[in-house]
């Protein structure tokens, strides 16, 4: 009889919390879901952006812009259609904009501008949207395009940080 009472008491405390937990996590894309034509997961998208930045720093610009970053863009668009409130999308868009600014070419600047416009239009009240506007303004202020120094701007985070975030509710922004 005591066990039954404890079970009912535990259930009474657990049930009201269940919808709150489910609602917070329902906006996050699962790590094992794949998006876009090239079937990238949310971790694959973040890794593509990070690795592309490394390749650009090594001077491998052309294939990187037309390959992994375009694949990541396609995957983010598909991800956004299914999970429009996922906060990781804004973080990945900002990371992508920073990588485009490191290209140091008119095409890189155009891609950075379009990524910033996408981020600000779809996620206007996020810290990443504000950071993207500042980064673009800093890169284009004055007479010349100056995309130096953006390697130190906050990135979208490591894969394990993202995995941990999928397992726990995000703190309020």
The pTM assigned to this predicted structure is: 0.70
Torsion (CA) 86, 91, 95, 96 in degrees, nearest 10: 30
Tell me which residue of 173, 96, 90 sits closest to 136, measured CA to CA: 96
Quick check: 123 and 89 in contact, CB under 8 A? yes
Q: How far apart are CA 48 and CA 115, in angstroms?
A: 16
**SS3 label, residue 137:** helix
- Mean pLDDT value across residues 20-35: 69
105 token code pair: 């070419």
Share of the chain above pLDDT 90, in %: 34
Which segment of 85-89, 107-111, 160-164 scores lowest on mean pLDDT? 160-164
- Mean pLDDT value across residues 4-10: 53
**Chain centre distance of CA 130:** 14
Q: So where are the chain's domains? A: 29-167
- Mean pLDDT value across residues 98-124: 91
101 token code pair: 């600014």
Question: Would you place residue 30 in the very low, low, confident or very high pLDDT band (cuts 50, 70, 90)?
Answer: confident
102 token code pair: 């490191």
What one-character DSSP code corresponds to residue 151? G
Alpha helices in 27-105 (DSSP H): 42-57, 62-66, 68-82, 87-101
């Amino acid at each position: 009889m005591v066990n039954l009472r404890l079970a009912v008491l535990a259930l009474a405390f657990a049930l009201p919390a269940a919808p709150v937990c489910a609602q917070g996590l329902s906006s996050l894309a699962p790590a094992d879901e794949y998006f876009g034509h090239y079937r990238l997961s949310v971790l694959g998208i973040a890794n593509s952006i990070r690795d592309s930045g490394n390749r650009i720093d090594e001077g491998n610009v052309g294939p990187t812009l037309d390959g992994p970053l375009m694949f990541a863009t396609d995957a983010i668009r598909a991800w956004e259609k299914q999970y429009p409130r996922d906060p990781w999308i804004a973080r990945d868009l900002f990371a992508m904009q920073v990588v485009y600014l490191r290209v140091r070419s008119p095409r890189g600047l155009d891609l950075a501008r379009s990524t910033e416009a996408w981020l600000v239009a779809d996620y206007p009240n996020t810290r990443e949207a504000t950071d993207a506007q500042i980064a673009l303004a800093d890169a284009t202020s004055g007479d010349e395009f100056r995309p130096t120094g953006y390697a130190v701007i906050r990135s979208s985070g490591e894969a394990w940080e993202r995995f941990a975030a999928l397992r726990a509710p995000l703190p309020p922004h």
